[in-house]
Amino acid sequence: MFRRVPPFLIFPLFLLSCGESGRLFTSENGPCSLVTVAEAQEALGEPVLEGILTDPTTCLFKAQRHENNVVTVQVDEPAGKDQRAWFNKERLRRDSRLIAGLGEGAVRVDSPTLSRLTFLHRDVLVTVIVASTKQKHLSESVTRLSLAAASHSGATSTTSLPHTVSNLTPKDGASPHPVSRPTPVMLSQTRPGPSDAQSGPQKAPALDPTHLVGTWHSRLTQGTTQHDMLLIIKPNLAWSLSSMMQFDGVLNAEAGLWSLERANTFKGLGWKGTYRKKTANSFSSTGSVQATWSRLTPDQDPTLVPTELWKLRRDATSVPVFQIKTVDPDLVGQWEATGTYAGGSAAFVWGIKPSAATDLLIVESLRGTVQTKNNLLQLQPIKKQKGQRVSIVALYDHGLTTTDGKNTLRWSKLSPELTEDHQL
């Protein structure tokens, strides 16, 4: 009937950007000054020519024997709104890789013959591209070269790379810029931060997990299905994540058979099964939803749904006049249950009206703890689920942004007043 969106597991890499400004490059020390011939040669694994400034923002280091193998260094100074928007989109691409500890944020995109890495330093975007049909370690080469460019520009660069063997042959070694076998690299540079407060994302001197403590909300819409997400991080750094999906439509339930059709969808796209009444306040269902239901009183909130999510629900849809359904009077009311459906285990709240209008809320939950790994904060689930990875790519004063490569979510922090007194 509809696609299940699993609760997002958040394995965050924090890339916090900074608003400090100031020109870094001039015509005398432009993009060609960020990379030496020896460094470009090491990246390509073959001798290269001196850098050529093709325009004030772009420098090329071409291989001597294969002109299509080239190192490109580009500088956008200052980075305007369009460049920053492009940079943020690059960081959220499904095929991109976030690089921690390089400038105020860095992202790398790899392909078989080209790797591109862009990092932000103050208000400047620096892009390093290594294109080669010979080099077998393009992603590592462009990362190493970007670390060198960051070092020359004075940008913060703190990361390490494994040992690799140069691709240079003995014949290539006759180059006036011989390439040594790289050793593990560890670059650590610091610079003073901005003296005054800046708007927008700010680079913190250290990643403090307590900044994540609180209640966060996000919303994802797929077609006509809405998913409300609630992330609660406690002071002890334990977290819980709940995802609520609202399935509204019309219900047909009589003689032990039930079927639920989503409003505004083609006939046949629905759920169905059997039901059996146990008492006046309970019944069981099979089929698309397998659960044992307990009746809620009219003024009773469900116990299986976080209060904040319950306040975000919508009223049941009205039934179109051309859809005439029959509902067993004993099923009219509001019910809750835990059980299973096509997506796995979940908690359910089912509101059934005499008119046959119905709301089925499906709530899935995950729990975990905040952990530090390789100097990065991660929200580690207690039970891992294959293939799920959501990174925090930005942390702001009042919100954060996450992506799993397919969906990008902007989270807002809920204030105590909103979570207690108001329906959002």
Same-domain check for residues 312 and 164? no
Contact 390, 13 (CB under 8 A): no
Residue type, 314: R
Is 25 a member of any domain?
Answer: no
pLDDT of 191 above 50: no
CATH number of the domain within which 67 lies: 3.40.1000
Same-domain check for residues 162 and 215? no
Same-domain check for residues 89 and 43? yes
pLDDT of 199 above 90: no
Residue at which a domain ends, from 158, 187, 216: 187
Same-domain check for residues 92 and 123? yes
Q: Which range, of 120-124, 325-329, 375-379, 390-394, averages the lowest pLDDT?
A: 390-394
pLDDT of 75 above 50: yes
- Residue 118, classed as helix, strand or coil, is strand
pLDDT band for 176, please (50, 70, 90 cuts).
very low
Same-domain check for residues 149 and 253? no
- Residue 295, classed as helix, strand or coil, is strand
Q: Cis before residue 78, ω within 30 degrees of 0?
A: yes
Tell if the pTM clears 0.85, that is, is over it: no
- Of 2, 406, 411, nearest to 225 by C-alpha is 2
**Per-residue CA distances from 366 to 370, 378, 383, 389 (Å):** 13, 15, 8, 14
Mean residue pLDDT of the chain comes to: 72
To 10 degrees, the CA torsion angle through 155, 159, 165, 169? -10
- Structure-token pair, residue 15: 């890339």
Contact 102, 155 (CB under 8 A): yes
Q: Output the pLDDT for position 234.
A: 92
Q: How many CB atoms lie within 10 A of CB 240?
A: 15
Same-domain check for residues 133 and 228? no
**Per-residue CA distances from 256 to 356, 373, 385 (Å):** 16, 53, 36
**Per-residue CA distances from 246 to 2, 9, 206 (Å):** 11, 21, 39
Is 5 a member of any domain?
Answer: yes
Rounded Cα gap, residues 248 and 225, in angstroms: 9
Is 21 a member of any domain?
Answer: no
Concatenating the DSSP letter of every residue in 327-368 gives B-GGG-EEEEEEEEETTEEEEEEEEE-TTSEEEEEEEEEEEE
Give 60 or 174, the one with higher predicted confidence: 60
Rounded Cα gap, residues 47 and 287, in angstroms: 67
Same-domain check for residues 409 and 260? yes
Contact 107, 94 (CB under 8 A): no
Is 183 a member of any domain?
Answer: yes
Q: Tokens 């294109």 — which residue?
A: 131
pLDDT band for 336, please (50, 70, 90 cuts).
very high
Rounded Cα gap, residues 136 and 307, in angstroms: 53
- Of 245, 221, 213, nearest to 379 by C-alpha is 213
Same-domain check for residues 180 and 265? no
Same-domain check for residues 417 and 378? yes
Q: Which residues contact 103 (CB under 8 A, 6 or more apart)?
A: 119, 120, 121, 126, 150, 155, 156, 157
Q: Tokens 């370690």 — which residue?
A: 137
Is 22 a member of any domain?
Answer: no
Compute the Cα dihedral for 321, 326, 330, 334 and give only its sign.
negative
Q: What is the mean pLDDT of residues 254-279?
A: 77
**pLDDT digit string (tens) for 123-166?**
788 899 999 888 888 889 999 999 999 888 887 776 555 443 33
Give 85 or 252, the one with higher predicted confidence: 252
Is 380 a member of any domain?
Answer: yes
What total of structural domains would you count in the chain?
2
Q: Is 157 left (phi over 0), alpha (psi -120 to 50) or beta?
A: beta
Range of the domain at 342: 1-16+204-424
Report which DSSP code applies to 299.
T
Give the percent of the chain with pLDDT over 70: 63
As to burial, measured by CB atoms within 10 angstroms (0-12 exposed, 13-18 middle, 19+ buried), residue 369 is middle
Residue type, 137: H
C-alpha neighbours within 13 Å on the C-beta side of residue 107: 20
Q: Output the pLDDT for position 385.
A: 56
Q: Output the pLDDT for position 8.
A: 40
Q: Output the pLDDT for position 195.
A: 38
Is 328 a member of any domain?
Answer: yes
Is 319 a member of any domain?
Answer: yes
Q: Output the pLDDT for position 264.
A: 46
Same-domain check for residues 242 and 356? yes
Rounded Cα gap, residues 143 and 103, in angstroms: 12
pLDDT band for 314, please (50, 70, 90 cuts).
low
pLDDT of 398 above 80: no
Same-domain check for residues 183 and 44? yes
CA 385 to chain CA mean position, Å: 16
Q: Output the pLDDT for position 21.
A: 34
**pLDDT digit string (tens) for 12-64?**
322 222 223 334 444 445 789 899 999 999 999 999 999 988 888 889 999 99
Q: Tokens 């690059």 — which residue?
A: 90
Report which DSSP code applies to 297.
P
Same-domain check for residues 99 and 237? no
Q: Output the pLDDT for position 194.
A: 38
Residue at which a domain ends, from 137, 160, 187: 187
Residue at which a domain ends, from 128, 156, 187: 187
